[in-house]
């Protein structure tokens, strides 16, 4: 605010900045050490928060408290065993979650956001977090303002400041000063960090970075907690379900055991151990391991996700809106020819086209971000016209925006004559022209029908006066001709579209190009089913009508940024998962509106900022890999969930029931915890498991009602065989407490672990689906360890006793019978179950601000320094 009251020259003098050369490399290094990184948050993996996440369970605290009490009253061996088992369990979860956090840190560090700064007299690209106060920064259409700037030069600059002020209309910027005490929303001479260049361009000097910026102060107030995704909401709802079940079961067990005059400490430890056995302690570790492994696989396929949990949301997609250029086409645009209108000649049309660019071309590669301009300048035809451009001087520019869809320049030739040159979308340019030859319209229609991209060029003599250009000057034009470009379909795009179709994803094209061009490309790729709508037709429909029209529409052409967002929003109301793939300024609103925003590494700043997923290559085949990976992760997570709500829950319920009629505890608290630890250890291999092809063909959603029905259906099946084991131990082998506990420990561990082979697939019989080798070895290994424990030297310490050989024969029979019964249950359950997608989660009000804060994130600690030189 202080800088806004001072002139630009005064601010440059205050910060010791040369207005032409910027800061030197040595001075930048010194200021980086003084002010720190230009970041408002850190994505560094932190040791203690991850550890606290493992320790914060209230059940764990109660269990440790009861173990300490047990130690104090003399039952020291049990207390020590419980403590060791809890420590190992916490350690397992911590190691896996911390590894996942490190994977996320590495992933985030690969996503770079750069800006153009002037240093040592040269314009260079620098990471936004490397900016320091005093840096001179160039601003272009679509840039996210990288720091708080005092503006020095502007050309039609307008900024979207809604992320700070909530105002949807862009704010016009200038270089003037404002009085002291001017509100934030009226600082016209400043561009604020986190806001977006909507139109025009400019240059400014950095006056605040990091947490000292206005955006940094707001972002700091939000804390570091990320917004929950659809996936995380489902996990939390499932965990709450088990907490309620565990709470009711634990309380009743404790009360009944006390009423039956069993020792209070033993009853408390037993009931708490049951609660720990029911709660999915390693669910976060299983999920984190799955997501981290998935992110590494996707990274190798050149797909980066900003947050690991976005991978699963990507698998939830069933409609993809995508642009055409670079996705369905090669994206390598080549200039083909100039089609003159009237008495113009092709060389003249090309010359006017080269003059009407926003950025001055210093060489063939330095043209700016417009791919059509780049193609024009690097063409052999342009090389022949370069000498003809020497006598022209550009006086003013009216930059391109997505409402006008044109760029205009004011140029003066060697004779001193000034001309307005306008170039842009043919529909927009032709409606501003007078006396368009019919032959030109016919030529335009023919080029569109051939699938070529076309830009129209028009001119008019400039009016006398100062060298400025306004939108009113873009009228009364004379059409010079058309510039024709070729962007052919990708050879492998049809295969990628086929893959997406097998995944149950409907692909719809949203493009700024002409409808006829888009239709030709889609037809060539076999994406011809469905109608085409123009932006004007979309604007004429209300939201309900638009939602109905989307179903039968494949192409949306010449649509505005607001219309793109409306289309995405209308599709989301249908209840399905919606992804939007875009890389331009005009895609940002739609990227924000989608469930999953997808952009590319070469996209504009605002598009990358709005996206959840970044493709290093703009390839639909890679995107199909990401969708399949997301569904694979969700399927494997559900396997763990269903395991916890079936056999594991059944075993804990059996323990509760047995404690009512036995004169002794059916299993010691330490044995329950050891059983749970071994079982959970085997489940850590679930992220490596294979997933049946049919499970990848459509998205799956969290459905707590489905999980509850599964628990009620399959939990009692496990309890049946537990009670059979009780009968065998009591009436066949006439076991005492130690041998009884040993037998049930081995049987419960074997049944609840081996049932993964049946529950992991819907195929009947289950051996038609092949599990991964790590999962197979982990499950069989844990069962073997459990079977051998009663015969090892530590058996007495753990309260076990060797089992007779006949028990293992009975055990094999019970396991086989149990798996057969589960298969019968699967046939009945899946035949009758009709799962419905739950209501979709809506994001909170600060979603956009938090996502923008991630743009200014570093792996280093962020410590604000003094804001003065």
Active-site choice (148, 323, 595, 689): 323
Q: Is 323 a catalytic residue?
A: yes
The Cα angle at residue 394 between residues 175 and 467, in degrees rounded to 5: 55
Q: Where are the alpha helices (DSSP H) in 604-703?
A: 605-610, 620-644, 647-661, 669-683
H or E segment to which residue 820 belongs:
helix 805-832
Cα gap 213→204, rounded to integer Å:
15
Exposure string of 499-520, with b = 16+ CB inside 10 Å and e = fewer, is bbeebbbbbbbbbbbbbbbbbb
Closest listed residue to residue 31, CA positions, set 152, 215, 210: 210
Decide if 681 contacts 92 (C-beta within 8 A). yes
Hey, CA dihedral for 249, 255, 256, 260, is it positive or negative? positive
H or E element at residue 13: helix 8-15
User: For residue 360, how many other CB atoms are within 10 A of its CB?
Assistant: 10
The SS3 call for residue 137 is: strand
HSE-CB at 859 with a 13 A cutoff on CA atoms is 13
Which residue from 722, 751, 714 is spatially nearest to 654, judged by alpha carbons?
722
**Beta pairing partners, 596:** 579
Closest CA to 667 of 287, 393, 266: 266
Neighbours of 16 (CB within 10 A): 11
- Cα separation, 408 vs 420, in Å, equals 7
DSSP code, position 384: H
Q: What separation in angstroms does the CA of 439 have from each of 275, 421, 443, 481, 482?
A: 81, 22, 6, 11, 12
Residue 2 has phi, psi (to 5 degrees) of: -65, -40
- Show Cβ contacts of residue 499 under 8 Å, excluding neighbours closer than 6 positions: 620, 621, 624
Comparing CA positions, the residue from 808, 795, 818 lying closest to residue 671 is: 795
Helices (H), 111-179: 162-165
Distance of CA 524 to the CA centre of its chain: 31
Instruction: Round the CA-based radius of gyration of the chain to a whole number and report it.
Output: 33
448, 450, 485, 584 from 521: Cα distances, Å: 11, 9, 14, 20
Closest CA to 640 of 763, 779, 780, 767: 779
SS3 call for 457? strand
CB 187 within 8 A of CB 149: no
- 163: burial class by Cβ within 10 Å (0-12, 13-18, 19+)? buried
Burial 102-127 (b: 16+ CB within 10 A, else e): ebbebbbeebebebbbbbeeeeeebe
Beta carbons within 10 angstroms of residue 244's beta carbon: 10
Please provide the DSSP assignment of 781-793 as one string. HHHHHHHHGGGST
Conformation bin of residue 360: beta by default, left when phi > 0, alpha when psi is -120 to 50: beta
* Token pair 């620098």: residue: 126
Mind telling me the catalytic residues? 323
């Amino acid at each position: 605010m202080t800088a806004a009251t001072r002139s630009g020259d005064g601010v440059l003098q205050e910060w010791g900045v040369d207005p032409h050369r910027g800061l030197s490399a040595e001075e930048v290094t010194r200021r980086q050490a003084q002010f720190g990184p230009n970041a408002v948050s850190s994505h560094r993996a932190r040791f203690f928060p991850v550890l606290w996440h493992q320790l914060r369970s209230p059940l764990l605290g109660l269990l440790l408290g009861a173990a300490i009490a047990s130690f104090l009253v003399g039952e020291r061996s049990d207390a020590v065993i419980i403590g060791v088992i809890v420590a190992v369990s916490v350690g397992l979860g911590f190691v896996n979650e911390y590894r996942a956090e490190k994977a996320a840190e590495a992933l985030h560090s690969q996503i770079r956001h750069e800006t153009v700064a002037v240093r040592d007299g040269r314009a260079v690209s620098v990471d936004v977090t490397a900016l320091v106060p005093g840096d001179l920064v160039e601003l272009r259409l679509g840039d996210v303002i990288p720091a708080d700037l005092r503006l020095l030069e502007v050309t039609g600059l307008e900024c979207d400041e809604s992320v700070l002020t909530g105002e949807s209309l862009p704010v016009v910027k200038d270089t003037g000063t404002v009085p002291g005490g001017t509100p934030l929303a009226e600082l016209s001479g400043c561009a604020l960090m986190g806001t977006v260049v909507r139109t025009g361009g400019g240059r400014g000097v950095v006056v605040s970075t990091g947490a000292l910026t206005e955006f940094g102060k707001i972002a700091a107030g939000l804390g570091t907690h990320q917004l929950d995704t659809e996936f995380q909401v489902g996990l939390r709802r499932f965990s709450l379900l088990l907490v309620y079940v565990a709470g009711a079961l634990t309380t009743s067990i404790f009360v009944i055991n006390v009423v039956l005059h069993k020792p209070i400490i033993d009853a408390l430890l037993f009931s708490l151990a049951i609660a720990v056995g029911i709660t999915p302690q390693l669910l976060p570790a299983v999920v984190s391991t799955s997501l981290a492994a998935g992110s590494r696989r996707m990274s190798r396929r050149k797909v980066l996700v900003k947050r690991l949990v976005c991978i699963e949301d990507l698998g939830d997609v069933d409609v993809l809106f995508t642009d055409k250029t670079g996705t369905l086409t090669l994206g390598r645009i080549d200039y083909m020819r100039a089609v003159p209108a009237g008495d113009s000649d092709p060389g003249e049309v090309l010359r006017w086209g080269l003059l009407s660019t926003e950025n001055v071309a210093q060489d063939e590669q330095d043209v700016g971000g417009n791919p059509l301009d780049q193609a024009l300048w690097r063409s052999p035809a342009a090389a022949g016209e370069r000498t003809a451009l020497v006598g022209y001087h550009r006086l003013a520019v009216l930059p391109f925006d997505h409402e006008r869809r044109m760029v205009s320049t004011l140029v003066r030739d060697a004779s001193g004559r000034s001309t307005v040159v306008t170039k842009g979308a043919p529909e927009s340019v032709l409606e501003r022209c007078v006396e368009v030859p019919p032959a030109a319209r016919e030529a335009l229609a023919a080029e569109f029908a051939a699938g070529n991209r076309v830009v129209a060029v028009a001119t008019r003599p400039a009016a006398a006066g100062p060298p400025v250009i306004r939108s009113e000057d873009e009228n009364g034009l004379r059409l010079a001709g058309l510039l024709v470009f070729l962007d052919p379909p990708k050879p492998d795009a049809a295969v990628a579209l086929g893959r997406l179709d097998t995944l149950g994803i409907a692909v719809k094209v949203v493009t700024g190009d002409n409808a006829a061009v888009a239709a030709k490309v889609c037809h060539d790729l076999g994406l011809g089913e469905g109608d085409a709508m123009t932006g004007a037709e979309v604007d004429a429909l209300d939201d309900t009508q638009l939602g109905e029209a989307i179903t039968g529409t494949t192409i949306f052409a010449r649509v505005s940024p607001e219309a793109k967002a409306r289309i995405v929003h209308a599709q989301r109301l249908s209840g399905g998962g919606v992804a939007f793939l875009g890389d331009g300024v005009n895609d940002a609103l739609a990227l924000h509106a989608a469930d999953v925003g997808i952009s590319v590494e070469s996209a504009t700043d605002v598009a990358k900022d709005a996206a959840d997923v970044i493709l290093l290559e703009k390839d639909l085949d890679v995107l199909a890999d990401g969708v399949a990976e997301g569904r694979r992760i969700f399927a494997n997570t559900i396997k763990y969930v269903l395991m916890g709500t079936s056999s594991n829950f059944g075993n804990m319920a059996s323990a509760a029931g047995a404690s009512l009629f036995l004169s002794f505890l059916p299993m010691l608290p330490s044995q329950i915890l050891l059983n749970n630890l071994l079982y959970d250890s085997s489940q850590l291999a679930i992220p490596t498991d294979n997933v049946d092809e049919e499970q990848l063909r459509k998205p799956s959603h969290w459905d707590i009602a489905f999980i509850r029905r599964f628990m009620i259906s399959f939990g009692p099946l496990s309890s049946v065989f537990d009670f059979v084991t009780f009968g065998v131990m009591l009436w066949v082998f006439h076991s005492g407490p130690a041998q009884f506990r040993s037998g049930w420990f081995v049987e419960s561990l074997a049944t609840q672990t081996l049932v993964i082979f049946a529950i992991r697939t819907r195929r009947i019989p289950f051996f038609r689906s092949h599990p991964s080798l790590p999962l197979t070895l982990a499950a069989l290994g844990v069962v073997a360890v459990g079977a051998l424990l009663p015969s090892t030297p530590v058996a007495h310490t753990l309260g076990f006793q060797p089992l007779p050989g006949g028990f293992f024969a009975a055990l094999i029979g019970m396991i086989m019978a149990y798996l057969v019964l589960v298969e019968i249950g699967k046939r009945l359950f899946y035949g009758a179950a009709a799962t419905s997608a739950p209501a979709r989660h809506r994001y909170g009000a600060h979603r956009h601000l938090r996502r923008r804060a991630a743009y200014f994130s570093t792996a280093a600690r962020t410590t604000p320094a003094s804001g003065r030189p």
